[in-house]
Structure 1
Amino acid sequence: DILNFDFSSNSLEGPLSLDIGNLKAVVEINLSRNNLSSDMPATIGGLISLKTLSLAYNKLDVASLEILNLSNNEIYGLIPTSLEKLLYLKELSLSFNKLEGEILRGGPFVNFTAMSFKGNEPLCGSPNLQVPPCKLNKPGKHQKSRKNMLPLVIVLPLSTALIIVVIILALKYKLTKCGKRGLDVSNDGILPSQATLRRLSNLIGMGSFGSVYRARLRDGIEVAVKVFHQECARALKSFEAQCEVMKSIRHPNLVKVISSCSNDDFKALVLEYMPKGSLENCLYSSTCMLDIFQRLNIMIDATSTLEYLYFGHTTPIIHCDLKPISVLLDEDMVAHLSDFEYGMEGQVSTRSDIYGYGIVLMETFTRKKPTDRMFVEELSLKDWVNNLLPISLMEVVDKTLLSGEKKGFVAKEQCVLSILGLAMECAMELPEKRINAKDIVTRLLKIRDTLSK
């Protein structure tokens, strides 16, 4: 039986198949960053073992939701008024949670009975719902309660990204108090306590290991907080590895870990915030245009970090998960590696990292994902590049790199040819034939110097 199902960032399109309901034993599903559309299938409600579901960054329609069952969880706070906007909602179960405050009366709530809310003792409202009447609040009291609540894990607007946060947290994503090792953060960001962690709302990224939120320290410094999925064994292993390894490594192109927060039910890292996002976001954004020098510098930064990890220690440290999404960019477009799985030489090889780096190098200068729909059956990104070079460079390269002024065109063309040739050397089938990180740095610096003349 399948326990973990990760098809994120694969350009999937169309509706979610009803067959997803056949994954009876699945614990984690990640279908984020695709182009899925239409309604969410009702069969997803039959996945009784499911604990983590990520459908962020798709085009799913939540407004037509008809059934919402969040019963028997650890959901705190008031019922958000935005649920009243789900006009097609026919069945709702919020029973046996820890909800409080007044039961809503607008929208579909006029049709729900006491069965939808039983097991939430602090709830109040109409007598026909078998709850006590609500007491009149003193001025400002209700407002304060709203400020401190967990709004049913989020405020459930009609957007796919946030409805996923509802589902994730509703499926037993428990937030509990951290110990003294936590970092003090202002109220508009995060405090390492149960109450404030529930106010994490500024979601900026989601992956198979956890969710990343933007926050601000008391001194005004922005940080990123990565909250790891408790139900995923690989995520917890990644958290422990990152905490251990980051104690001994320091490099300007590694994302800095400011603090960690850990107990039995909650693990998070407070990280240096990267305002420009990831290389993947910049590559495929309609508002961000990376020129040839920026892409070259980003890849030099990345391989310089690999060189440090491989040769700066007695035992080489392996990244294990090189992708454009794990290359983050600061305000000055300087690259920083993140999302390590971490391995030690002997368990895995630096040569596997080099292969991954070669694929990232190809993607950066072709602007083609290895998962692009054009790569089917036996054709891969690497094969496509290899088959067309050097004769058909213009078919391979991201055309924005060689368009515009004719001045310097030949130099740019030769630069891209050299870079893609180097990428092929990184991705050789036989590991022993792959170029090493030191030589990659030397070659890229030479290419940049030639292009600058």
Structure 2
Amino acid sequence: MSIGANNFNSKLPSSSWRLIKLDHLNLSKNLLHGFLPSNVEALKAMNIMGLSFNKFIGEITYSVGSLQNLVSLDMSRNAFQGPIPDTFRNLIVLEYLDLSNNSLSGTIPKSLELLRDLKYINVSFNNLQGEVPKNGVFANINYRFLMGNPELCGLPDLHILLCPAQGSSRTRKKSLILRITVTLVATCLIFVMLFFTWMIWSRKKQVIGNNGLDSLPRMGHQKITYYELLQATENFSHSNLVGSGSSGTVHKGTFSSGTVFAIKVFDMQWQGGLRRFDSECQILSNVRHRNLVKIVSTCSNKDSVAMVLEYMPNGSLDKRLYSNRNCLSLVERLNIMIDVALAMEYLHLDYAVPIVHRDLKPANVLLDQDLTAHAADFGIAKMLAQDGNIAQTKTLGTIGYIAPEYGLDGQDSTSSDVYSFGVLLLETLTIKKPTDDMFRGDLSLHKWVSLSFPDAVIDILDADLVRDIGFTRG
């Protein structure tokens, strides 16, 4: 929902805070006023909230701390008063926080140090006082994000005086003289920093739009033109081809900045190409987990649509398992399986709406430079209804990895991913695909493994894995 950069000058309707599935809200650059209601906590799915450049008043409600999916929060340029709520410590995935140019008072909560993902915080030009926290996001904070709060103390390296202790009037007098001197010097520095900040902002403005959701700080997301994709991939040359499938191709792209991304181009001639693109965008733009591939941007024109994703230099698990030069040790294989399990746990249990991947297989498990696994290819993933665990759908997925009962009945549930994970685990340890020619009739991969227990387990394991463990067959 984006109504930014208009001249709306009313209070927000109470119904605005009952949109429980809303994940982006941009109200910036209006004349909206009134209090922020306590029932804002109902917006559980909220990722990005922009309230800047309005006339909101009163205290920031403590219920904002209940929005645990919040990644970006911009409340700058309003008339908020009172303390910064200590409940902000619950915003565990927060990356961007701007509370500048308000009338906030009290101290900066020390609990903000604990927000490990927080990369940016701006509390300048308020009435804050007391000691500035030292750790977390504050460890490398710039003075311009704290200035305009004359009662802050504790960072002499940033020309913010040491916090006053009980002492003589002479000491306080020296402190006052020092503060005046530092203020004069800091004022000159501020003008210099503002000039360079303005130059940087002017350049960024060419990349990031002024209105709509793109005006909100979206961490890691950026606009990339089709021309830039052509340059990065050398016109999608075969030498940069990473992989291909029914829905399109994936290319390695090296941009002018030196950054490498994966460019997934969807085949618009294929009937389901646009649907796969829409589905993958919907899923990846809403989920955030270290074991899921992150979306950087999208790009489209009349002939094609493409998705820019983080690049995985070690390729897919499928290629690593079946490459003679890249044998994975037992520990590496187990760590990869744990990573995939954590990704599925997040999709099934930790996200607001359960998500079924529906196509879990080695080709869709990608490995970064540290061999950390990331689940990928959400083109046929499905969000399940809130009120039930099973959804009827057209059967999709890859033969051999689909649970038989779901292939026959056309039912989706998180259990189908659990079955696929089991097949994935067996294949990783045995280097046998579930579609191998040996599996005919009643014999399947999991039945073949079951029959090996307890005496012949060593005979079904991958030979490289056996050598790594140190066992001998015989």
- TM (norm. structure 2) is 0.45
Q: Which has the higher contact order (CA 8 A, sep 6+)?
A: 1
Higher Cα Rg, which structure = 2
